[in-house]
Structure 1
Amino acid sequence: MPQFPLPPGSTIGVLGGGQLGRMLAEAASRLGFDVAVLEREADSPAGRVCARLIVAAYDDGEGLRALAEAADVVTFEFENVPAASVAQLAQFGAEVAPGARALAVAQDRFDEKTFLNANGCPTVAFAAASTAAEAIDAVARIGVPALMKTRREGYDGKGQSWVKDVADAGRIFEALGGARVIVEAAAPFVRELSVIAARGRDGEVAVYPLGENQHENGVLRRTSAPADISPPTAAEAERIAARILDGLDYVGVIGVELFEMADGSLLVNEIAPRVHNTGHWTQDGCQVDQFEQHIRAVAGWPLGPTDAIARIEMLNLLGDEAGAWRSLAAEPATRVHLYGKRAAKPGRKMGHVNRVRPL
């Protein structure tokens, strides 16, 4: 097993070669680490900036063995990594952070909300269903309108549907594939907030200022940070983040999406056991951004400061919007972050910009 803290020159392994893996690799490089990426595609955003690329499926035994042998610690860029892959990495002697429990909790929406409630983090009312009849019963108990989601997978608005009439619940269950679902009560929230937080190997917790998020068609469009919130709301968000991190014995950066209610109270919508889109503002708004913070945490280094040094509006560039790079780069207060993806598909996240204003 590796000895922490890892010295510069050590190798960080990353499962996944997308934009989050790319930005993790760039952050690790600044700290003197090499990065080994396991990714299914030979030409990927992270694969082109890492020291070593292992081209294999996420559940390929030989690929996982190669990653375990190459890396001193392994992390992942998205939460839908097969749990069996993490178990295999451990069998091969790899240290994986965040750990398997965080991954398992975040991969099942019912388990996630059950965990949150058990750790004193409030959510909307919810119920599970495995059949069309159970889905009808769950919606009847929760009340309409209700949001029905597949318990596993699904992101950016996929794998979910609103139920406006109990009589439609069975049909919607079947339309979602007949898989196990969670039925959630509607949340009459004022706005969506998010908090990015980190926990080190020594249990130290660092929390970034909250961001305010706006979505379009189920996809994050912009985050403004630091959000204009009251001190009690900020303190509650920090309490929630700390309880989640400690409850999972977590190591690394986590994203926590929150609903702010009319009275200023907060409900947890969901957690993401990784660096998060709503934390991209930290790249130009904080001394140590979320990507460097994650590398520090998994490598056993001290966590960095999280204070904001600027106000940021982060705007996702979707599809061919990234083609406006020339005009965006000409804006003095705009910082352009492009992901190096080859094909600009409609709705695909191709990059983001951070528009910087003084605090």
Structure 2
Amino acid sequence: MKKTKPLAPGSTIGILGGGQLGRMMAMAAAQMGYRCITYSPEKEIVAADVCADTFQNAWDDRAAMAAFAQNCDVVTWEFENVPVDAISQLGDLLAPHPRALETAQDRLNEKRFVEGLGGRAAPYAPVDNRADLASAVERIGAPGILKTRGDGYDGKGQWRIRSAHEVDGVSLPAGPAIYEGLVEFDAEFSVILARGRGGEIVFWDSTHNIHEDGMLARSVLPAPAIVAAQVDEARDLSRQVADALGYVGVLTLEFFATAQGPVFNEMAPRVHNSGHWTIEGAVTSQFQNHVRAILGLPLGDTRTVAPAMVMHNIVGKDAKTAHASLSDPATQLHLYGKARALDGRKMGHTTTLKFD
């Protein structure tokens, strides 16, 4: 980062990306007296509703990126597919360091990086052609999942292979891919941490994450006993990852809870869907602590404020009836301001705190 001391109220945070994560980040920043501007090439930029300015330009528009940078005291991102080459001109303004993006944007490099720190991943093999895929399925077994090495999220860029007989019929992605064997697990969970400029780290409680069609549907606390038993080991690995990256901000690692212990799934160098519950459910939300970290401010208390909680994603046309959830006075509703309620599109979420 360019600054060595905390940035004063009134400073400007630049957010790369214009989705709901940037929207909630900007809302947290405004609460503390900071302004945000966003940069995104997307047609619909929901973060713009709560940002002081918006740059709706292509990632490779160097003049626009330079103008954006001139208006920022620090720059962060809200999704991990920001092209690293396009933001190289931002230099010391960036937090976290772009090495986190470089690591997370390639599933093969990400797994090798985490394994190098002692983590366990699902069995995998790189796939560049059909012969590689056939060899990987023969060695690892099926069923398994063929994934693009980059750009995939929420189940996109993934193809399930149920048996070796399906290899010849699979349409290979245009770019490099990776084949992963399926993991037998009892639950999925994530470790979400915030790391400050001085290396201090705080963790939120780990939720039980329930997925449907490759997308997170619900995050629940308290998590099952097997998750609670494996959180410490998963946190130790997550801390090593954050330290190795010299990370600043909120970092998320997803895990499978298995009979052999936690198995690393993937990393998200950003605030995360499974941490949305922290807005109401923790003393300090993931969004506020991300802002605190990149500004050089002290990190906030991450304790959970209720004995139980469920966060539920609102997807597609369910947004049209989402206000019915408010019939439960313990439920908080967040709609992201998206105009098109497309199938499989995250439109909002609810969080329900339970005190009895």
Superposed, 1:87-106 pairs within 5 Å as 87-90=88-91, 94-106=92-104
Q: 2:105 corresponds to which residue?
A: 107
Aligned partner letter, 2:330: A
Report Cα offsets for 1:206-257 as digits up to 9, x if no partner.
1111011111111111100242336542211221210111121111101111
Alignment partners' CA distance in 1, 2:36 and 2:88: 21
Contact 2:323–2:333 (CA<8 Å) still a contact in 1?
A: no
> Is residue 2:283 matched to residue 1:287?
yes
Cα distance change, pair 41–112 in 1 and its aligned pair in 2 (3 A)? closer
Alignment partners' CA distance in 2, 1:41 and 1:215: 26
Aligned partner letter, 1:29: A
Q: 1:155 corresponds to which residue?
A: 153
How far residue 43 of structure 1 moved from its aligned partner, in angstroms, is 5.0
Superposed, 1:144-293 pairs within 5 Å as 144-172=142-170, 175-229=171-225, 232-263=229-260, 265-293=261-289
> Is residue 2:326 matched to residue 1:325?
no
TM-score by length of 1: 0.94
Report Cα offsets for 1:263-284 as digits up to 9, x if no partner.
5x10010000000000101111
Alignment partners' CA distance in 1, 2:325 and 2:152: 32
Q: 2:24 corresponds to which residue?
A: 23
Alignment partners' CA distance in 2, 1:146 and 1:326: 39
Contact 2:9–2:32 (CA<8 Å) still a contact in 1?
A: yes
Contact 1:312–1:354 (CA<8 Å) still a contact in 2?
A: yes
Alignment partners' CA distance in 1, 2:32 and 2:295: 10
> Is residue 2:301 matched to residue 1:305?
yes
> Which of 56-65 and 97-106 deviates more?
56-65
Alignment partners' CA distance in 1, 2:145 and 2:321: 36
Contact 1:124–1:186 (CA<8 Å) still a contact in 2?
A: yes
Contact 2:193–2:202 (CA<8 Å) still a contact in 1?
A: yes
How far residue 14 of structure 1 moved from its aligned partner, in angstroms, is 0.1
Q: 2:354 corresponds to which residue?
A: 357
Contact 1:133–1:170 (CA<8 Å) still a contact in 2?
A: no
How far residue 138 of structure 1 moved from its aligned partner, in angstroms, is 1.6
Alignment partners' CA distance in 1, 2:10 and 2:109: 38
Report Cα offsets for 1:91-148 as digits up to 9, x if no partner.
xxx5111111110110000000000100111111211121111111122111222221
Aligned to 1:110, the other structure's residue is in SS state helix
Aligned partner letter, 2:106: D
Alignment partners' CA distance in 2, 1:254 and 1:106: 11
Q: 1:344 corresponds to which residue?
A: 341
> Is residue 2:335 matched to residue 1:334?
no
Which of 119, 123, 140 matches 2:138? 140
TM-score by length of 2: 0.95
How far residue 205 of structure 1 moved from its aligned partner, in angstroms, is 0.7
Which runs of no fewer than 5 residues in structure 1 stay unpaired?
none
Aligned partner letter, 1:103: L
Aligned to 2:48, the other structure's residue is in SS state coil
Cα distance change, pair 41–233 in 1 and its aligned pair in 2 (3 A)? closer
Moved over 4 A (4+): none
Report Cα offsets for 1:174-220 as digits up to 9, x if no partner.
x1324211111210011111111111110001111101111111111
Identity, % of aligned positions: 42
Aligned partner letter, 2:250: V
> Which of 147-156 and 18-27 deviates more?
147-156
Which runs of no fewer than 5 residues in structure 2 stay unpaired?
none
Q: 1:55 corresponds to which residue?
A: 56
Q: 2:7 corresponds to which residue?
A: 6
Q: 1:82 corresponds to which residue?
A: 83
How far residue 77 of structure 1 moved from its aligned partner, in angstroms, is 0.6
How far residue 88 of structure 1 moved from its aligned partner, in angstroms, is 2.2
How far residue 162 of structure 1 moved from its aligned partner, in angstroms, is 1.9
